[in-house]
Structure 1
Amino acid sequence: MALSNGTEKKTGLTILIVGAGIGGLTAAIALRKQGHHIQIFEQSRFATETGAALHLAPNANGILRRLGLFAEEFGANPIHKFTEYTAGGQLLHTLSFKEDNKRWQHPWYLAHRVELHNALKKAVSSPTPDGKPAIEIKTSSRVERVDTYNATITFSDGTQIRGDLVVGADGVHSISRASLPNCEHIKPFPSGKSAFRFLIPKQQALDDPETAALVLNTGEQSMWFDVNRRIVMYPTSNNRMLNFVLIHPDGESASETIGSDTWDQSANLEKMLKIFSSFSSAILRLLSKVEPQSVRVWKLLDMDALPRFSDNRLVLIGDAAHPFLPHQGQGAAVAIEDAAALAVVLPLETAQSEIADRLELYNEIRYTRATTIQSFSRLVGKDLKPGDKKPSMWEFQNYNFGHDEWDNSTQKLREWTWKRNPSAYWRMPIAFGPMPGPRQTHFGTARNNQRSTFTTASIKFKTSRTILETLFPPMRSGWRFSVLDTVAYATFSLTTLNKLDWLGGSGYNHIGLYIHGVEYTQEEGSVVKGVYLPVLFESLTDPIISGREELGMPKVYSSIDVYRRNTSYRARAGWEGAFWGEFLLKDLEEVLPPSPAKEHLWEEPLLTYKYLPATGPKNKGKAAEEYPVIYDVSMENQFKGTILKTYKAEKASFALDPLDWEQLPTLHHVISRLAEIPVYDIVDAKVVEGEGVPDLAAARPIV
């Protein structure tokens, strides 16, 4: 099984889906897309979606398109207009969506539920273009219970099947739901309303002069309101069929649904017309065109919010998790969103040991949004008393439509991944997560620099202690030389690094001035000693930024060209073609490396000073962060570097030219100071080659 960092073979999870409705099939398609192995179990002989039509709002349609399903290819038509009337036919208001559709990332369609379901079944039952196999829907498979810990399903015949994960997509009367802790008692209950649902061919309405005016506009959804009942009509199937939803107090059609909680019971046409007899004659004439045997009545069920949607290795989606009243047309859309979120948080590299944590993430992503839209739907469907302001379903449109769950969940998964490694380095720009660098990958995994190589040329020289003291942090007390002689020692060290994994196997050059014999005294009196680094020039931006921000190293940019020959080493440093430094080591002769070979180059800890400026005009001259820093290579427990070859130089020299502000606009103030340092004597010059580069992760503030 693959780990989250992708270091093991990616084999995918075995995922068992209970229920082959819209949510279950969408989840199957999305999870297969991620590379998992899917099995679907449906309790009926074959899942059939009835109930006429549904809304494919932009938030759902975008996900289907991402999965390769285009609703316009199976008869869905765009919505262009929304109109509300009184029961008597008086116009209340109208809205056009032809322009609004341009506001949304994906079009808003009206789809036949059966056509959508058939398209999903076809996609599930077919291999994918990239070779992923078809998914079998195992029908007549009634589930009795789910073991959330072992991801085991027990069927009504006593047989069992075990996977890595169970998805409960078994609808409003979900069996899976009862397996969640503290959910056994939470069951759907009547909302007080029922709905008749059916389809009428649009042409029949157009052929009748009394009803034609009600259906003239293409892509129009119409609603007629009475005190405690409403009629909703909109076209589907390429505007050829009219879908009807007639919502009313459930007691008025109770005899139609006695003894059953299913939502598609046959209903009596005459009783339906009587229940809506307060509506205009034109509306009643339109309703009477339905085939009597096609009228179905649906008891609208509601349910208290579950405490959560997942536990261990069971997760609920769609109506199993959050049944919806139909007043915003978001039931199928939110189930599709659930499926997308689940697939995103379970990428191919998901390890079995991570499933429960990832389902907890799914719960965090989906719970608030799903339950909020549930609340909106209840509010929009509430009966109004005289004087009450009617809430508009369009008030919630932006929240519902302006959301892409695949993108949202992808970001939430990133943030979840980042949080799992609290020690990861973060640098600007932080919107993209932890920054990869010499000390970590983007995922916060430590680098191994043991195979990296270095070549370091160093020139140690005697100089003025007083001049070197001017390079200590100005106006910051505590810095001094351990021995107060008038002379002191410093080294220009020039290093070429190569075979760096964090740079894709390449490398860069750097030049540093290291001042020997320096100590820093803390406020409480303790003293740390080491080699002080006032400036480090580097030839590549990435290590400059990472070293300054993460470690506090005093890095600046410079071009550094190195010319290595058999018996000589030459380097030239500059900025945009203006060269400020020449370093030369001549007559190189190989000498035996130390025995045993040194594990590092620094004999003493490295001392420097971190300073990051605060932002804003009022903070000019103020630091957001500043303190002395110490790095001791002996603190790198895992680091083992080796000096392979050492070459002594018979002659060595360096020359610094500060040029002027025009030639060195960003470095003149630095180079002019370095050029002031006198050279009394060259003490030592050598070139060292080795393997293993410390990442300096052990650098820490001196506090």
Structure 2
Amino acid sequence: MNTPNNALDVIVVGAGLVGFAAAAALRRQGHRVTIYETSSFKNELGAGLAIPPNTVRGLIGLGCVIENLDPVENLCFTAVAFDGSAGMRSDQTNYEASYGLPWIMVHRVDLHNELRRVALSAEGNTGPPAELRLDHRVSSCDVEKCTVTLSNGDTHHADLIIGADGIHSTIRSFVVGEEIVIPPSKTAGFRWLTESTALEPYPELDWIVKIPPLGARLISAPMNPAPPQVDHRTIIIYACRGSTLINVLGVHEDLRDQDTVPWNAPVTQSELLQFFGDYHPRFKRLLELANDVHVWQMRVVPRLETWVNRRVCIMGDAAHASLPTLGQGFGMGLEDAVALGTLLPLGTTPEEIPDRLTLWQDLVKPRAEFVATESYEQQHIPAKRGLYLRSQEMRDWVMGYDVQAEAQKVLAGAVNRSKG
């Protein structure tokens, strides 16, 4: 496909979910996009991922085919007491009726593959395919010259640089002007996947994927009655990849010195069982089926003064990594990407980019920071535990949002002001 002469040259640092989303959003506008990724993609993370309606809307807007994700629809959240003292309590919501689209559960690798497809594929009339350069580590960024330098010394110039390089971002310090320490959150998660067929011999596990209403299951420990202490343990369970896999995440307070242990480390089954030793036997049966379990540190990026500097910006976890409490971590990063693509249509000049980035930040930053703050507080403050599931107003504000429509309004306002 021939690229118009008025297309922008864009560098995206990081080829994770948000990096590919940003590349897809900008190539759809006709811009030339090059993605630099440190890894070779040999060890992609195998885990489930929640995709609420606002995130589904963003994926469709990028050209993703939802069926390619082999999704499992989430029809409800069902909570059970860790000790079996209370029965299942289901909060059923018709997400499609309420928000126009379903809430789905997918496998992270399937989502990554689909975003990669819409960013790189030559199919369709959606702008020039992005170029992906694996094993290319970006070591620095010059925001004044709008260049990145690779670890081999090569320097590359662009009209726009996007740091979508995760919580350990290289680009972040060049945008904000200092190194940002990501403090321990004292929260971690045991995570693993189990084949659905492994549950079939055990009728006591039928409640996970066979007993309706079907959807995510939460096994919650009781809160300590003496605030501010709280038992953080919650096991979150849901099916993905066409219900062939069961994703399990055991969120808990991390009593280790998080600064001296790996961010992602293997855990033995005996360690897992010991940690949840007071759970009811029917819940521990699921833990006994676990293998290839890892404990994953969960950290929150402190609220940053800015995400933009001249023609360089950061997005996704590089800007606002959060806990998974609201199921919106990826969703907020996707909204970053969709909004930026919308605000930079073909014909945008390099000189216009700083102002457009300011408009972009004004649109997405307050919302993402609200979600990050609530995700942390609803995990750590006893009175706020479960607030998202209790507050219809908050769920409507988060899941009923259409970021592309809002960005189009902002763009229209900017264009009208420039004419005025």
TM-score by length of 2: 0.91
Which residue is 1:189 aligned to? Answer: 183
Question: Which protein is richer in helix relative to its size?
Answer: 2
Q: Which amino acid aligns with 2:280?
A: S
Q: By how many angstroms is 1:131 displaced?
A: 6.6
CA contact (8 A) 1:150 1:313 kept: no
Which residue is 1:272 aligned to? Answer: 272
Q: By how many angstroms is 1:193 displaced?
A: 1.0
Which of 351, 359, 362 is 1:361 aligned to?
Answer: 359
Unmatched segments (≥5 aa) in structure 1: 1-8, 425-703
Q: List per-residue Cα deviations over 1:434-466 (Å, max 9, x = no partner).
A: xxxxxxxxxxxxxxxxxxxxxxxxxxxxxxxxx
Judged with a 3 Å threshold, the aligned counterparts in structure 2 of structure 1 residues 340 and 389 are, in CA distance, closer, same or farther, namely closer
Which residue is 2:287 aligned to? Answer: 287
| SS of corresponding position for 1:26 | helix
| SS of corresponding position for 2:204 | coil
Q: By how many angstroms is 1:91 displaced?
A: 2.9
- CA-atom RMSD in angstroms: 1.9
| SS of corresponding position for 2:101 | coil
CA contact (8 A) 1:177 1:320 kept: yes
Which residue is 1:339 aligned to? Answer: 337
1:67-466 to 2 correspondences below 5 Å: 67-89=62-84, 90-91=86-87, 93-97=89-93, 99-130=94-125, 132-182=127-177, 184-217=178-211, 219-226=214-221, 227-251=231-255, 258-261=260-263, 264-291=264-291, 294-382=292-380, 384=382, 388=383, 390-394=385-389, 395=391, 396-421=394-419, 424=420
| SS of corresponding position for 2:176 | coil
1:588-607 to 2 correspondences below 5 Å: none
CA contact (8 A) 2:176 2:307 kept: no
CA contact (8 A) 1:14 1:38 kept: yes
Q: List per-residue Cα deviations over 1:580-636 (Å, max 9, x = no partner).
A: xxxxxxxxxxxxxxxxxxxxxxxxxxxxxxxxxxxxxxxxxxxxxxxxxxxxxxxxx
Q: By how many angstroms is 1:371 displaced?
A: 0.4
CA contact (8 A) 1:43 1:140 kept: yes
CA distance in 1, matches of 2:384, 2:6: 56
Which residue is 2:55 aligned to? Answer: 60
Q: List per-residue Cα deviations over 1:457-489 (Å, max 9, x = no partner).
A: xxxxxxxxxxxxxxxxxxxxxxxxxxxxxxxxx
CA contact (8 A) 1:346 1:358 kept: yes
In percent, how many aligned pairs have the same letter?
Answer: 29
Q: Which amino acid aligns with 1:400?
A: V
CA contact (8 A) 1:44 1:139 kept: yes
Q: List per-residue Cα deviations over 1:248-277 (Å, max 9, x = no partner).
A: 12126x69x95433xx32222211111111
1:474-489 to 2 correspondences below 5 Å: none
Unmatched segments (≥5 aa) in structure 2: 222-230
CA contact (8 A) 1:71 1:109 kept: no
CA distance in 1, matches of 2:277, 2:333: 35
Q: By how many angstroms is 1:92 displaced?
A: 6.2
Which residue is 1:16 aligned to? Answer: 11
CA contact (8 A) 1:147 1:179 kept: yes
CA contact (8 A) 2:233 2:250 kept: yes
CA contact (8 A) 1:20 1:47 kept: no
Larger radius of gyration: 1
Q: By how many angstroms is 1:212 displaced?
A: 2.2
CA distance in 2, matches of 1:281, 1:215: 18
Which residue is 1:635 aligned to? Answer: none
CA contact (8 A) 2:37 2:133 kept: yes
CA distance in 2, matches of 1:87, 1:420: 59
| SS of corresponding position for 2:255 | helix
CA contact (8 A) 2:146 2:157 kept: yes
| SS of corresponding position for 2:358 | helix
Which residue is 2:227 aligned to? Answer: none
Moved more, 126-135 or 171-180: 126-135
Q: By how many angstroms is 1:191 displaced?
A: 0.6
TM-score by length of 1: 0.55
| SS of corresponding position for 1:274 | helix
CA distance in 2, matches of 1:273, 1:165: 49
